[in-house]
Amino acid sequence: MQVYEAPLRDMKFVLHELHNDDGFGNLEALAEFTPDLVDAVLEEAAKVAQEVLLPLNRSGDIEGCTLENGVVRTPAGFKEAYEMFREGGWCALASDPEWGGQGLPEALNKLTEEMICSSNLSFSLYPGLTHGATTAIEGYASDALKQAYLPKMVEGTWSGTMCLTEPHCGTDLGMLRTKAVPQGDDSYKISGAKIFISAGEHDLTENIIHLVLARLPDAPEGVKGISLFLVPKYLPKEDGTPGPSNGVSVAAIEHKMGLKASATCQLNFDESTGWLVGTAGKGMEAMFKMMNTERVSVGIQGLGVGEAAYQSAVWYAKDRLQGRSLSGVKNPKGPADPIIVHPDVRRMLMTARAYNEGSRAIGGWVSRALDAEKHSTDPAVKARAEDFIALMTPVVKALFTDCAYESANLAVQVYGGHGYIAESGVEQYVRDARIAMIYEGTNGIQALDLVGRKMPAHAGRYLRSFFHPVSDFIEANKADATFGKMIEGLEKAFGALQLSTGTIAQKGMKDPEEAGAAATDYLRLLGLVAMGYCFAKAALIAKARLDEGAEDAAFYTAKIATARFFFDRLLPQATAAFLAIKSGKASMMALEVEMF
Ligand SMILES: Cc1cc2nc3c(=O)[nH]c(=O)nc-3n(C[C@H](O)[C@H](O)[C@H](O)COP(=O)(O)OP(=O)(O)OC[C@H]3O[C@@H](n4cnc5c(N)ncnc54)[C@H](O)[C@@H]3O)c2cc1C
């Protein structure tokens, strides 16, 4: 059974307690968002997630989207839910008030995103992609395009897409073939085929605004020749309402492993009218604005699914009676004890719990940096926030989604055979979580971005935005009477990360394949250190609250226990990652291609 209750207590901990000393807070521009207001928004979002979106999760998975006579229909209930969502202002949460948005802090917005993804990942893509598209338009489009499109997109009556992928090119966008021919005015005719386009066609909004990567006739080969265009499904009339069709058609919808209620479309652009977003030939720069926003959001998608899977597993583990506890009968009136008594079931539940709480903690930290980047009036804080976001974006995307897939898999294992049967609802989480490791740049590509671009950038400056707070924290707390040993563990993992950084920088300079071979392990190692840092901080805060006699002692006690589990059982992966990195590329690349 899919059960989900938004983890509001942990979300409030992350928002109000965990990161207060990170130097990204106290933003004048966000002063109106008092803790009471923020909590009220979280509580309302939880209701929407639990009461409106969750009931459509399994039915949407079973029914999927359909294509008939060029029209894509979302599953029953989606249209009504979207309308309720839109009217409630949920599409406009984080957007700029200039365009009708509510300008909410990202630190709050990302938590509402998590709830939406937990309750219905497929649904989340429709408003999610629209928000991503608005960030690229806001950052790079002309004023005329902004005026014509942003208000409708922000209010959610028009939706957005990102059209990059073509049949022969996904990761390597330099090969894309979609053409853009200038028309002598400021418009272009766009022609080409795109595949795998999320929300490419559907019945939720009046119009769909595609952001399309295409190539001008005289463009050089490779990514330098790519430009970004805004191409509406319907061309707006003078009065701004949708007018004639613009030559965008759906060739097919993809039949896929999961995410069934999200319409993934093959789109044909047939001399569709489009307008340049940003500068000709610099389309990737504008698209990266959207992609970076989306990469953090995809990390949050992972966390959302991981949390939902964990909660369903906990529910089942308390309900399912099998065997007796090794430490003596716990349910004497029943024929057996609930499986939650068994250490191996605890291992699975605690692993998922720690990954979820660890990801949420890192997500909260990065979100505060996103707010500081946008609103801080202190140039030094802004610059540090930018560095930190650049470093952590691939980590959030890949670490959270890897962990979420593991958590969803563990949830199926907790259900045993019943987990493999569709009726249980948990196998859907595995299928849904899987895509987040692939789209928006595969996790392997995220790792290469971390090692190849982010690590060496400005002689390691991005890395320092993370290394400095971690090393200061270790120095300040390693003698702590209660958690000293835990922090020693963090110090060791951090040492391994520093050594690995040096090794990769040195070897990678001479042989880029060495950096490529180390990338995935390095991202995991950095992610584990980030989680360790957050858990150690959380444990110190929790203990202080308990010492003060905090009311919700159970929450803080559980936080300390989860932190201890992370250090005992999950942080040791750091040693394995370190050893793998140290071993280099030799055994990985030893076989000749024909030997496979
Ligand atoms: C459900 C779904 C929704 C999607 N939504 C969208 C969307 O809205 N818009 C859009 O434009 N696209 C979308 N995509 C496409 C998605 O972003 C791509 O599938 C993804 O980026 C990978 O590209 P590819 O499938 O062509 O794989 P490939 O690029 O062929 O990669 C195959 C494998 O090779 C690895 N690889 C490739 N190049 C390298 C390299 N240089 N170094 C190391 N490893 C490498 C990859 O990591 C991967 O493991 C979607 C895909 C799916 C399945």
Does any ligand 1 atom lie closer than 6 A to the CB of residue 126?
no
Structure token pair of residue 346: 């605890």
Nearest-angstrom CA–CA distance, 579 and 108: 38
Question: By percentage, how much of the chain surpasses pLDDT 90?
Answer: 97
Structure token pair of residue 268: 């044909």
Does any ligand 1 atom lie closer than 6 A to the CB of residue 197?
yes
Nearest-angstrom CA–CA distance, 72 and 537: 48
Whole-number Å distance, alpha carbon 238 to ligand 1 midpoint, is 39
**Pocket-testing residue among 161, 195, 438, ligand 1, by greatest number of atoms within 8 A of Cβ:** 438
pLDDT greater than 90 at residue 292:
no
- Do 157 and 90 form a contact (C-beta atoms < 8 A)? no
CA 557 to chain centre: 28
Q: Which amino acid is at 420?
A: Y
The overall average pLDDT reported for the chain is: 97
pLDDT band with cut points at 50, 70 and 90 for residue 167: very high
Place of tokens 């990737």: 284
pLDDT greater than 90 at residue 265:
yes
CA distance to 26, 361, 376, 594, per residue, from 20 (Å): 9, 12, 15, 56
Q: What is the pLDDT of residue 6?
A: 98
Q: Which alpha helices (DSSP H) does 416-436 contain, by range?
A: 417-420, 426-436
- Do 143 and 81 form a contact (C-beta atoms < 8 A)? no
Exposure on the CB side of residue 14, measured as CA atoms within 13 A: 28
Does any ligand 1 atom lie closer than 6 A to the CB of residue 437?
no
Nearest-angstrom CA–CA distance, 127 and 114: 13
Does any ligand 1 atom lie closer than 6 A to the CB of residue 503?
no
Does any ligand 1 atom lie closer than 6 A to the CB of residue 435?
yes
pLDDT band with cut points at 50, 70 and 90 for residue 466: very high
Mean pLDDT of all residues in 179-200: 97
Q: What is the pLDDT of residue 287?
A: 87
Structure token pair of residue 585: 């590329």
- Do 199 and 125 form a contact (C-beta atoms < 8 A)? yes
Q: What is the pLDDT of residue 235?
A: 98
Q: Which of 238-247, 285-294, 335-344, 500-509 has the lowest mean pLDDT?
A: 285-294
Does any ligand 1 atom lie closer than 6 A to the CB of residue 301?
no
Q: 426: Cβ–Cβ under 8 A, 6 or more apart, which residues?
A: 2, 309, 312, 313, 316, 408, 411, 412, 415, 419
Whole-number Å distance, alpha carbon 294 to ligand 1 midpoint, is 14
**Pocket-testing residue among 121, 439, 445, 513, ligand 1, by greatest number of atoms within 8 A of Cβ:** 439
Nearest-angstrom CA–CA distance, 41 and 453: 37
pLDDT in tens, 59-80: 999 999 999 999 999 999 999 9
Catalytic site positions: 440
Query: Which residue in 4, 22, 9 sits closest to 473, CA to CA?
Result: 22
Nearest C-alpha to atom 16 of ligand 1 is from which residue? 439
Ligand 1 atom index nearest CA of 194:
11
Does any ligand 1 atom lie closer than 6 A to the CB of residue 164?
yes
Q: What is the pLDDT of residue 100?
A: 97
pLDDT in tens, 3-41: 999 999 999 999 999 999 999 999 999 999 999 999 999
Mean pLDDT of all residues in 474-481: 96
Whole-number Å distance, alpha carbon 441 to ligand 1 midpoint, is 6
Q: What is the pLDDT of residue 153?
A: 98
Whole-number Å distance, alpha carbon 209 to ligand 1 midpoint, is 22
Ligand 1 atom index nearest CA of 170:
26
Mean pLDDT of all residues in 228-240: 96
Structure token pair of residue 37: 């207001």
Q: Which amino acid is at 333?
A: K
pLDDT band with cut points at 50, 70 and 90 for residue 286: confident
pLDDT in tens, 396-412: 999 999 999 999 999 99
- Do 45 and 12 form a contact (C-beta atoms < 8 A)? no
Does any ligand 1 atom lie closer than 6 A to the CB of residue 442?
yes
pTM of the complete model: 0.97
Nearest-angstrom CA–CA distance, 270 and 70: 15
Whole-number Å distance, alpha carbon 152 to ligand 1 midpoint, is 30
Does any ligand 1 atom lie closer than 6 A to the CB of residue 235?
no
Nearest C-alpha to atom 14 of ligand 1 is from which residue? 196
Does any ligand 1 atom lie closer than 6 A to the CB of residue 445?
yes
pLDDT band with cut points at 50, 70 and 90 for residue 318: very high
Structure token pair of residue 138: 């806001």
Q: 131: Cβ–Cβ under 8 A, 6 or more apart, which residues?
A: 91, 94, 95, 160, 293, 297
Q: What is the pLDDT of residue 8?
A: 98
Q: What is the three-class DSSP state of 363?
A: helix
Q: What is the pLDDT of residue 289?
A: 80
Whole-number Å distance, alpha carbon 275 to ligand 1 midpoint, is 26
Query: Which residue in 576, 539, 540 sits closest to 559, CA to CA?
Result: 539
At CA 295, angle to CA 364 and CA 141, rounded to 5? Answer: 110
pLDDT band with cut points at 50, 70 and 90 for residue 290: confident
At CA 284, angle to CA 122 and CA 387, rounded to 5? Answer: 85
In degrees and rounded to multiples of 5, residue 169 shows phi and psi of -145, 125
Nearest-angstrom CA–CA distance, 552 and 550: 6
Nearest C-alpha to atom 12 of ligand 1 is from which residue? 165
Q: What is the pLDDT of residue 330?
A: 97
Whole-number Å distance, alpha carbon 173 to ligand 1 midpoint, is 10
Structure token pair of residue 93: 């949460």
